[in-house]
Amino acid sequence: MKHIKNRPLFFLEYAPNVTYTDGEPVPHNNLAKRSDLRNELIVILPQEDGQKISFNSRTVSHQDKIYIAPLPNPVHILLNSGIENYNNSITSLGLLKNDCQFDNEENGIHVLNIGIDNTNGNFNDLVKFKMMSVISLVTSLEAFLNQVIPNDFSYQQTKNGKTKNLNKKKIESPQVTFKEKLTSVINQYLNNPEFSIKNADIINPITELYNLRREVIHLKTYSENEMGLYFKSIGNLLDIELEKIIISIKNYMNLIEPDFVE
């Protein structure tokens, strides 16, 4: 599966604090009160064609050198991480066929080689990559949902027959669940009460992914024997079809913010 196109973060709704070399502030119409970014760096960079681009960034220091680049959107980074780990899981899956100590071709059963640590490395990698993919994909979605909701948005939450108005901070708090943001909050944000119902075929796989992420993150261990500790969770992880879910995530994001994912 191809990676998506990363995009930088641009915060053009406020002007940065600008000073002369002697530290005196440059008079300008500043909206700095809307930002508390103390270490923000605004860069104006000439291109080969003579045009200039501007971006905001944070520096990275390593071995007495300072590096500067545009800040990427974490949603894209996390989504690409999910795609990359999914691709790695497919590679690991393909390596299994040449890593067997016993083959029963008639029944299609193959027993993998057991290493000195009493596990199989390729099988371990398959579990690892799928686990990391699930975590990255859901984290990307959580960041996206928080990102698209405007700061001045008010969500009307109805529970137990009572309705409360929740601001952006409360929407991002435990008062509002991931599934609620995925459906009810977005319905109100789009002013489209039928949005989540009409797009259930896209949202249902995402809900399945979120449920699995909860299993993977918490990994409950109550069991009568060691084999049962993670058997169900790892089994669900191995069985889930991530490619279809990744497609659903891309479609969902682009429905809310067109062309957000390329």
Co-location of 162 and 252 in the same domain: yes
* 56 and 124 share one domain: no
Q: What is the pLDDT of residue 157?
A: 93
Whole-number Å distance between alpha carbons of 66 and 128: 34
Give the model's pLDDT for residue 87: 96
Of the candidates 235, 146, 228, 135, the one whose C-alpha atom is nearest the C-alpha of residue 185 is 146
Q: What is the pLDDT of residue 34?
A: 45
Report the alpha-carbon distance of residue 252 to residue 206 in Å, rounded: 9
Q: What is the pLDDT of residue 213?
A: 92
Say how far apart CA 59 and CA 190 lie, in whole Å: 37
pLDDT at 186: 96
97/46 same-domain check: no
Q: Is 157 helix (H, G, I), strand (E, B) or coil?
A: strand
Q: Are residues 221 and 105 in the same domain?
A: yes
Range with the lowest mean pLDDT among 67-71, 87-91, 198-202, 226-230?
Answer: 226-230
Residue 261 falls inside a structural domain: no
- Tell me the pLDDT band of 16, cut-offs 50, 70 and 90: low
Q: Is the pLDDT of residue 232 over 90?
A: no
Of the listed ranges 29-38, 56-65, 90-99, 230-239, the one predicted with least confidence:
29-38
Tell whether 35 and 158 lie within a shared domain: no
CA–CA gap between residue 167 and residue 156 (Å, rounded): 9
**Does residue 199 belong to any structural domain of this protein?**
yes
Residue 107 belongs to some domain of the structure: yes
Residues 47, 167, single domain; the answer is no
| Amino acid letter for position 154 | S
What is the structure's pLDDT at 26? 58
The average pLDDT across 160-183 equals 92
Shared domain for 40 and 140, answered yes or no, is no
Q: Name the DSSP letter for residue 54.
A: E
156 and 103 both lie in a single domain: yes
Residue 249 pLDDT > 50: yes
Cα–Cα distance, 258 to 31 (Å, whole number)? 28
A 10 A CB-CB count for 247 gives 13
- Per residue in 93-117, pLDDT tens? 999 999 999 988 888 899 999 999 8
Instruction: Note whether residue 262 is domain-resident.
Output: no
The region of weakest confidence among 48-52, 78-82, 179-183 is 48-52
CB atoms within 10 A of CB 208: 16
- Closest to 132 measured CA to CA, from 249, 217, 75: 217
Q: Does some domain include residue 64?
A: yes
Single residue among 72, 104, 133 that ends a domain in this structure: 72
End of a domain among 36, 56, 72? Answer: 72
Regarding whether 159 and 116 lie in a shared domain, the answer is yes
* Full residue range of the structural domain in which residue 42 is found: 1-72
Average pLDDT over residues 7-11: 57
Same domain, 65 and 88: no
pTM (predicted TM-score) = 0.80
**Residue 67 predicted with pLDDT over 80:** yes
The rounded distance, in Å, linking the Cα atoms of 177 and 142 is: 10
- Tell me, yes or no, whether 45 lies in a domain: yes
Look at residue 138 and give its three-state secondary structure: helix
pLDDT value of residue 247: 96
Contacts 24+ apart (CB under 8 A), 13-19: 16/40, 16/42, 16/56
Give the number of other CB atoms < 10 A from CB of residue 92. 20
What is the band of 30 on the pLDDT scale with cuts at 50, 70, 90?
A: very low
pLDDT of residue 123: 92
Mean pLDDT on 201-225: 83
Residues 55, 70 contacting (CB under 8 angstroms): yes
Q: Are residues 82 and 160 in the same domain?
A: yes
Taking each continuous run of H as one helix and of E as one strand, the counts in the chain are: 9, 8
pLDDT band at 128 (very low <50, low <70, confident <90, very high): very high
Of 24, 51, 72, which one is at a domain's C-terminal end? 72
Cα(193)–Cα(184) distance, integer angstroms: 8
Of 40-54, 78-92, 112-126, which gets the smallest average pLDDT? 40-54
pLDDT at 31 over 90: no
pLDDT score of 85: 97
Q: Are residues 114 and 241 in the same domain?
A: yes
What pLDDT does residue 223 have? 55
Domain count, the chain: 2
